[in-house]
Structure 1
Amino acid sequence: MHLPEVPGVTHRFVDLPTRGVRLHVAEAGADEGETVLLLHDFPQHWYAWRHVIPLLSADHRILAVDLRGFGWSDAPRGGYTGIAIADDLVALLDALGLKRVHLIGHGWGGWIGFILSVRRPERVQRFVAVNMTHLWPNHRKMLPNAWRMWHTALFEYPPFGRLLLRRGRWFIRFLLRHWSRDGSVLDRATLDVYADVFRDPAHARAGEQLHFQYVIREIFGHPRGRFRTAHLAVPTLIIGGRDDVVFPPSVLADGEGHADDLHVAIVEDAGHLLPEERPEAVAEHARAFFALRSACSGSRP
């Protein structure tokens, strides 16, 4: 499949032999600026950041990675737990010679970003989670909103998830339009840039496995305390959409007791696809949040 073109963006493929995967990275911006690593949501890839990249690239080096199994990255049979994907990112930073980066993660990318920030805080300067709650949800607030995740049941179980992803371009179009406050923000050509990747059987299986591994490892991991005692030392900002149909503002709070520096900002007139619905708001919040570090320390990484 042909890589979509975005002005100012170049592409590279980074082999990670210790992880058994090759990742695609879209790159833009000034080499001398602080590096910002962008992590996409499901069922998207790096292209979801196409409107945010030019807003941040004037004074930052931007790396938008396709996670394992997505976009133009390899789609091996295994390695789709949150911890494994976070470990991919550590290996990517090592391969690129980057000690620390700013991090922005949308949806599933936000979930991976939380895991990376908790497990390897020395690699993350500041973290912005977009349309994603933290690792310590208030179950009294989450349970009444569990119905909002209805779509995951269609992707979670082999082999049905991969079959729907391969043959259900119509459903991916519907899902992304449903998630946005204004469905017209994504035209059919853009929707198919996402949907067409899953026509490849390996990538369709990867999308299924991301959800399946979450079911068998993460959902039941919460009661066992996998993250219950974890602490978030990385300064973090959660940005939500007022009209997010997946993670409404009510489920984004209550993580402060597990974090040194955690804040929540809500964007009005926006849904679950903030990087595409309101890229200027994402960039504005991120730029201001990243600048706090520079203002306080007066130094560069």
Structure 2
Amino acid sequence: MPGLGGVQVERVRVAEEAALHVQRRAGGGEPFLLVHGLASNLRLWDGVAAGLARRGHEVVAVDLRGHGRSDKPDRGYDITTVTDDLVQLVASLGVDRPVAVGQSWGANVVLELGWRSPELVRGVACIDGGWIELQRRFRDWEPCLRALAPPSTAGRSAADLEAELRARHPDWPEAGIAGALACYERRPDGTVRPWLESRHHVEILRSLWEHQPSIRYPEVKVPVLLVSAEGDPETDSTWAADRRRQVEEAAAALPVVRVRWMKGDHDLHAQQPEQVAGLLHDAVADGFFRP
């Protein structure tokens, strides 16, 4: 179905119980598959997708199951099934070995994809994720759930939510704010609710807590670009130290790897889309992601 500004909107059935909402931008250059994080949506990639398209690349962005405009089945929120969805998506769309790019939880998913199906992708890019191993910080599931449970937005007005997002992210471009707002369904009474149901959020979080990507590192055959946010050392010191240690461990164990650090927060793709698009394009142009 045609969209605006050269964006093609499609629904692709990837399983009996799930069809995924996809946005495509045409291009003759090497393709990219953009995968969002937990409780997010494909619109957070708008700025990056536009930047890649301007550089001539074909770009596919997807709402994962349970998120955004995709179907929300009762099952299938573990990393294995979500990765299955991406395998089927790439095959159904006929995309020729895209670079799979994921952010946060989505980065863990694309790393799993690169490990399991190296013939489907020419490389993997992990934006502030891919190395996430929650059991290092939370040995037991219950403390993890208490610390990272989805926030309640019941009764929040869309206007209040937008004001909060703008106050929290004053340096984000408009595309980033619009993408963050698109994580929520606007209801007729002016309030919002997340597209991702709370129970599915918890199922994904549990699967992420169980995931141990470090086991995969030595067996990942495709090139991996790790892009990590430096964060704020004054307000994020513990998490920043954990992040740096995990990135260094991943870089030491992955067979073909490149590491880049960027000033910014966890949502680098929303905060600095042009810089992220440039890093991704350069990794293709200089041959890191092999043809």
User: TM-score range with shorter-chain normalisation?
Assistant: 0.7 to 0.9
Q: Could you list the runs of 5+ residues in structure 2 that have no partner in the other structure? A: 139-143
CA contact (8 A) 2:183 2:195 kept: no
Alpha-carbon deviation of 1:168? 5.5
Alpha-carbon deviation of 1:131? 1.3
1:15 aligns to what?
13
**Equivalent of 2:83 in 69, 82, 86:** 86
In structure 2, the CA distance between the partners of 1:220 and 1:273, relative to structure 1 (3 Å rule), is closer
Tell me, in whole angstroms, the C-alpha distance in 2 between the residues paired with 1:203 and 1:275.
Answer: 20
1:55 aligns to what?
51
**Do residues 236 (structure 1) and 224 (structure 2) align?**
yes
In structure 2, the CA distance between the partners of 1:121 and 1:29, relative to structure 1 (3 Å rule), is same
**Equivalent of 2:41 in 42, 45, 59:** 45
CA contact (8 A) 2:83 2:113 kept: yes
Deviations 1:5-37 (A, max 9, x none): 863322111123x4421111111131x322110
Deviations 1:130-160 (A, max 9, x none): 1114267994xx57xxxxx7885323xxxxx
Q: Partner of 1:275: helix, strand, or coil?
A: helix
Give the TM-score, by structure 1 length: 0.75
CA contact (8 A) 2:44 2:180 kept: no
Deviations 1:160-200 (A, max 9, x none): x7xx3565678x959x95997x4452777654322227989
Alpha-carbon deviation of 1:98? 2.9
In structure 2, the CA distance between the partners of 1:189 and 1:98, relative to structure 1 (3 Å rule), is closer
Tell me, in whole angstroms, the C-alpha distance in 2 between the residues paired with 1:239 and 1:178.
Answer: 25
CA contact (8 A) 1:11 1:26 kept: yes
Tell me, in whole angstroms, the C-alpha distance in 2 between the residues paired with 1:135 and 1:88.
Answer: 21
**Do residues 283 (structure 1) and 280 (structure 2) align?**
no
Coordinate RMSD, CA, aligned: 3.8
Tell me, in whole angstroms, the C-alpha distance in 2 between the residues paired with 1:173 and 1:119.
Answer: 39
In structure 2, the CA distance between the partners of 1:101 and 1:153, relative to structure 1 (3 Å rule), is same
**Equivalent of 2:26 in 21, 24, 29:** 29
1:153 aligns to what?
148
Alpha-carbon deviation of 1:283? 0.9
Q: Could you list the runs of 5+ residues in structure 1 that have no partner in the other structure? A: 144-148, 156-160
How many residues end up aligned between the 2 structures? 271
**Equivalent of 2:114 in 117, 124, 149:** 117
2:127 aligns to what?
130
CA contact (8 A) 1:177 1:184 kept: no
In structure 2, the CA distance between the partners of 1:185 and 1:151, relative to structure 1 (3 Å rule), is farther
Q: Partner of 2:265: helix, strand, or coil?
A: coil
1:77 aligns to what?
74
Comparing 103-112 and 251-260, the one that deviates more:
251-260
**Do residues 292 (structure 1) and 291 (structure 2) align?**
no
Residue 57 of structure 1 aligns to which amino acid in structure 2? A
Tell me, in whole angstroms, the C-alpha distance in 2 between the residues paired with 1:229 and 1:108.
Answer: 16
CA contact (8 A) 2:65 2:77 kept: yes
Q: Partner of 2:182: helix, strand, or coil?
A: helix
CA contact (8 A) 1:126 1:290 kept: no
Alpha-carbon deviation of 1:239? 0.8
Q: Partner of 1:121: helix, strand, or coil?
A: coil
CA contact (8 A) 1:169 1:196 kept: no
Comparing 99-108 and 80-89, the one that deviates more:
99-108
Residue identity (%): 21
Tell me, in whole angstroms, the C-alpha distance in 1 between the residues paired with 2:30 and 2:132.
Answer: 27
CA contact (8 A) 1:67 1:85 kept: yes
CA contact (8 A) 1:137 1:255 kept: no
